Amino acid sequence: MISYPCAFDGTETRVLDVGSGPPCVFIHGLGARADRWRRNLEPIAATGRRAIAFDLPGHGFADKGDGFPFNVPNLARWVLGLMDELRVGAAALVGTSLGGFIAGEMACRAPERVTALVLVGTIGMSPLGPEACANLSGRFATVTREGIERKLKTVIHDPALVTPAWIEEEWRINNSVGAGGAFAAIARYLAGPIDDHVVGPRLAALRPKKPIAIIWGTEDRAIPPAVGHRARTLLEPALYREIPETGHGPYFEAAPAFNALVSDFLEGRSIKGDRPAV
């Protein structure tokens, strides 16, 4: 796996890139960064794919500050531009939480660029509602060490995985130059117009229909499985799975099981009665 900076459209980011073959682009969620996919990139690349992850603007080692218009339609446009920069024509998209929302918007905006969707604990398929949006905004905006520890233990089911080193790393990155402005801008979006950009009905209406997998953690406290059930009813995915004993990051907590599901789905193999991707 290689890691390198990539600058385009006035924004610099960091890319993780491994393998060759049909591309699979991984999109992280709020407050995270490309590293969250390190348990997934090489195993997916080993199946004969190019696996790519990156830091969204305002996150990780990407440019920060409040100058980037942080909303889902603009982020979808930005990721499509990054794919152009990386010479990726069409790709399977794996998005978690806000990353799934962005992936869905990309599929509606440029369906020819998206071969399949894997949505993990995703938001944006149906409205969250004012109370949930306010809670999400408040939780996201907390960048003290104690607040970061609480956030990590909310999204990770097994508290033993939330180590002091991880908390320290998150604190340093989320308090780096420009992070305060970026997080404030993102928090305003979460508390305000995010539900105006819901993508689920448009995604469900796409024809031809995109192959979709929905994966959730059974113990997800950040975005409960009930949200996944609504997405399943709306989108009628080829694959729906809840991974036991995992929270909001099943790709991290149960990486082997997650990687096997994604690989089988992308290769069109039927998984215990679910409809295979086509």
Compute the distance between CA of residue 11 and CA of residue 7 in angstroms, rounded to an integer: 6
CA nearest to 71, candidates 198, 179, 174: 198
Contact 16, 46 (CB under 8 A): no
Q: What confidence score (pLDDT) does residue 276 get? A: 43
Give pLDDT tens digits for 194-208. 999 999 999 999 999
DSSP secondary structure of 56-99 = PTTSTTS--SS-S--SHHHHHHHHHHHHHHTT--SEEEEEETHH
Q: What confidence score (pLDDT) does residue 33 get? A: 96
pLDDT bucket at 277, cuts 50 / 70 / 90 = very low
Torsion on CA atoms 219, 150, 141, 181, rounded to nearest 10: -120
Domain residue spans of the chain: 2-128+197-266
Give pLDDT tens digits for 155-191. 999 999 999 999 999 999 999 999 999 999 999 999 9
Q: What confidence score (pLDDT) does residue 139 get? A: 83
Over residues 58-70, the mean pLDDT reads 92
Residue type present at position 44: I
Compute the distance between CA of residue 260 and CA of residue 131 in angstroms, rounded to an integer: 36
Average of per-residue pLDDT values in the chain: 94
CA nearest to 102, candidates 157, 56, 59: 56
Question: How much is the pTM?
Answer: 0.95
CATH number for the segment(s) 2-128+197-266: 3.40.50.1820
Over residues 44-57, the mean pLDDT reads 98
